[in-house]
Amino acid sequence: MLKLAAPVCLSTWLLLITAIATPAQEAAPLASPQSACGIESILAYQAEHRIEGVASRAAPGDELVDPSVGMGLAGIEDWTSEQPFIDVAKTARPWTGHLPGQWGGWSHEDLETHGYLDENGWPTSIPPELTSVDLLMLSGLPTEATSINGRYRLTFEGEGRIEVSSMLKYWETTGGELWFEASTGNTIVSIKIFETDPNKTGNYIRNISVVKEENVAAFDAGEIFNPLWIKHVRDARLVRFMDWMQTNHSKQSEWADRPLPGDYTYALRGAPLEIMVELANEIGADPWFNMPHLATDEYLTCFAEAVHATLRPELKAHVEFSNEVWNWMFDQAQWADEQAIARWGQKDRWLQYYSVRAMDMARAWRAVYGADADQRLDMVLATFTGWQGIEADIVAPTQWIAENPAENKSAADYFDSYAVTGYFGYSLGDAKADLVREWIADSIEAAATESKAQGLSGTAATAFVAEHRFDQAIALAAEELRDGSITGDTSSTIAEYLENTLPYQAKIASDNGLDLIMYEGGTHVVGIGLNQEDEALAEFYVTLNYSSEMAGLYRELMSGWREAGGTVFTIYADVASASKFGSWGALRHLNDDNPRWDAIVEFNQANPGWWEERSETSFIGQ
């Protein structure tokens, strides 16, 4: 039984809950895999978590039979407003070790390097240099995300002393469970381990879980995903796992070092394959996997074997090599350049090497799938959408062709889809930012003038101006985003994309016998460079991004995408907090409702997948 020390309120805003755990069952050793890829253990995990009567499952008839919109899932972080897991601890920030008299000092990597962590990342002892180790979660979430508010149950195995700090004063313990409260706003939940395995029996604190009260029964029954989140993503045709897999700057290489379901947090190495497949199977959505650029051939083959063995056969795995290898912001671009120089002795051939390694990936997956490949695989080749002409290095890499002209013809022969972006609005946060500032000033003045015309004064006038201060500026911004008609500059407008960029890329796809698919798309209205630090601009951009005018632009973009011959329209991203760094989430949190999201839902409902026929049960959750 957990024994709770006498509660002490350290301040009006901070509570500390201290719990001592009595000996629990020893940690079971991991089973040895029976094959090179360990598929047996993956199948066993799937069988163990196959649950009848999943709480988040839609009622019959409530799900879309043939959706057309895909969703890129936001990254797994302690500050994520996506909150995809019932067990909140799976989104915890990796360990922070605290040196005496200060916050922090040691990281997860330090603990691992010094041998203090087990195979799942749980500390087997506290280093003598540290006072405690700390997990942080539910960090700084929007106040409006009220679904976060409430009571949480913390459970763990092992002996030791744990301290939970939260911004609310509520504590309770019954029968081995520690309860606390959390809420949104400028809050954070901290779980500190001060002592573990005090009797030196190997029974250290492990398997910490944090579950909101209304989800306890579902969690105890073995469910994984937050039912409230599932309601928002269950009608996706596909889910792209680029951020869940921590694709950018990935260090993953060997299959044996992949993320596993037992990892103490998925914010460290990314989501395990088992979890991603479970999500796809549960909601009925094609998964889109991004293979790490450092992945060995064994990694590629084993990943393919695992997906082939566990993904519902009516679902189609989309597979892409890394993400935006053209983008020099990411390690994968620099790696590809180094590999190209090593192979061909020439610079500026990095996208040709990307193409070569992507072909290796496609061969590996097709070899595993065999006769199933045509129905169950969609191999994806991606380009730099805004750089017309660069795709030649990708679809027909000349260095590779020259190695064996008789055999090496076209990289496109190895793929099914050609992936592009569908972003617009970049220039509004960059070259046009000063113009936007003028619009904002004029818009505030217009709102003040209108309040006077209505005879308002005092708090009523202040409230009116606050509510309508951006109205005029948003109307102007939407017009400019549509076609650049205010400035005459069409760069990064909807019109430029639909009339120039998209037709060009659609022809490349068609000429190479590939389907045109969107890997990311939507608004790219965000402050660029120093403009990002302008608070007034940031506030305006966020307001614009969730306005009815933005919804109208999305409708035009999605309709134009279909007319141009595109297939899945994949938004980026599903749920993410809006800030000066961008308004990437179609929803800002799980309680959000906004015109942009409504436009996406309406398009998804009104436009069943027009480019292919699939089973009537493919996209129905199970």
The mean pLDDT of 77-84, rounded to a whole number, is 98
Is the torsion defined by CA of 165, 168, 170, 175 positive or negative? negative
What distances in angstroms separate CA 233 from CA 64, 169, 505, one per listed residue?
A: 11, 34, 28
Q: Is the pLDDT of residue 171 over 80?
A: no
C-alpha to C-alpha distance for 17 and 165, rounded to whole angstroms? 6
Percent of the chain at pLDDT > 90 equals 88
**Cα gap 310→45, rounded to integer Å:** 10
Q: What mean pLDDT comes out for the span 516-528?
A: 99
**157-161, 303-307, 353-357, 540-544: range with lowest mean pLDDT:** 157-161
- Strand ranges, E, within 14-87: 15-21, 69-72
Total H helices, total E strands in the chain: 20, 20
Mean pLDDT calculated for residue range 242-252: 99
Tell me the two tokens of residue 47. Answer: 């069988």
Confidence at residue 316, expressed as pLDDT on a 0 to 100 scale: 99
Q: What is the pLDDT of residue 457?
A: 97
> What per-residue confidence (pLDDT) applies to 177?
79
pLDDT at position 7 over 50:
no
Give the pLDDT of residue 50.
75
DSSP-H helix ranges across 381-488? 392-395, 398-403, 433-453, 458-468, 471-483
- Amino acid 113: pLDDT: 98
Which one has a higher pLDDT value, 274 or 21?
Answer: 274
pLDDT one-digit tens code per residue, 214-228:
999 999 999 999 999
| DSSP structure class, residue 214 | G
- Nearest-angstrom CA–CA distance, 532 and 367: 47
Flag whether pLDDT at 607 surpasses 60.
yes
Give the model's confidence band at 18: pLDDT under 50 very low, under 70 low, under 90 confident, else very high.
Answer: very low
* Residue 167, pLDDT score: 62
State the pLDDT at residue 55.
52
CB contact at 8 A, 469 and 447: yes
For position 30, what pLDDT does the model report? Answer: 32
What distance in Å separates the CA atoms of residue 526 and residue 427, rounded to the nearest whole number? 9
Res 24 pLDDT > 50: no
- Position 130, amino acid: L
Helix (H) or strand (E) holding 137: strand 132-137
Q: Give first-to-last CA distance, the chain, whole Å.
A: 37
What string of DSSP letters covers 393-411? HHHS-HHHHHH-TTT---G
Determine the Cα–Cα distance for residues 493 and 422; give it in Å rounded to an integer: 11
Q: Where are the beta strands (DSSP E) in 340-411?
A: 377-382
CA atoms of 585 and 77, how far apart (whole Å) = 14
Q: Work out whether strand 105-107 and strand 3-4 pair parallel, antiparallel, or are unpaired.
A: unpaired
Beta-strand pair 8-9/15-21: antiparallel
Considering only 26-30, 191-195, 266-270, 394-398, which range has the smallest mean pLDDT?
A: 26-30
Separation of CA 7 from chain center: 38
pLDDT value of position 166: 81
Q: How far apart are CA 475 and CA 472, in angstroms?
A: 5
Mean pLDDT, range 3-24, rounded to an integer: 36
Concatenating the DSSP letter of every residue in 177-205 gives EEEEEE-SSS--EEEEEEEE-TTSSS-B-
Least confident of 57-61, 415-419, 520-524: 57-61
Task: Determine contact, residues 206/25, Cβ cutoff 8 Å.
Answer: no
At 137 the pLDDT is 97
**In contact, 130 and 115? CB cutoff 8 Å:** no
Taking the CA of residue 463 as centre, how many other CA atoms within 13 Å lie in the half-sphere pointing to its CB?
Answer: 6
Dihedrals φ, ψ of 5, to 5°?
-65, 160
Phi, psi of 516 (to 5 degrees): -95, 120
Domains of the chain: 3-30+86-223 (no CATH), 231-429+492-606 (3.20.20.80)
Among the listed residues 97, 177, 85, 98, the one whose alpha carbon sits nearest the alpha carbon of residue 138:
85
Per-residue pLDDT band at 173 (split at 50, 70, 90): very low
pLDDT digits (tens, 9 = 90+) for 82-99: 999 999 999 999 999 999
Burial of 47 (0-12, 13-18, 19+ CB in 10 A): exposed
pLDDT at 128 > cutoff 80: yes
Tell me the average pLDDT of the chain.
92
pLDDT of 2:
36
Which residue has better confidence, 431 or 48? Answer: 431
| Longest Cα–Cα distance in the chain | 82
3-state class (DSSP) for residue 154: strand
Residue 343 Cα to chain centre, angstroms: 34
Within 94-136, residue ranges assigned H as helices are 108-113
Residue 375's pLDDT is 97
E strands, 167-285, in order: 171-174, 177-182, 189-196, 206-212, 238-240
State mean pLDDT over 343-363.
Answer: 98
Closest by alpha carbon to 566, among 622, 525, 605, 509? 509
3-state SS, residue 94: strand
Residue 160 neighbours by CB under 8 Å, 6+ apart: 20, 21, 193, 194, 195, 196, 197, 198, 204, 205
Residue 87's nearest CA partner among 207, 209, 183 is 209
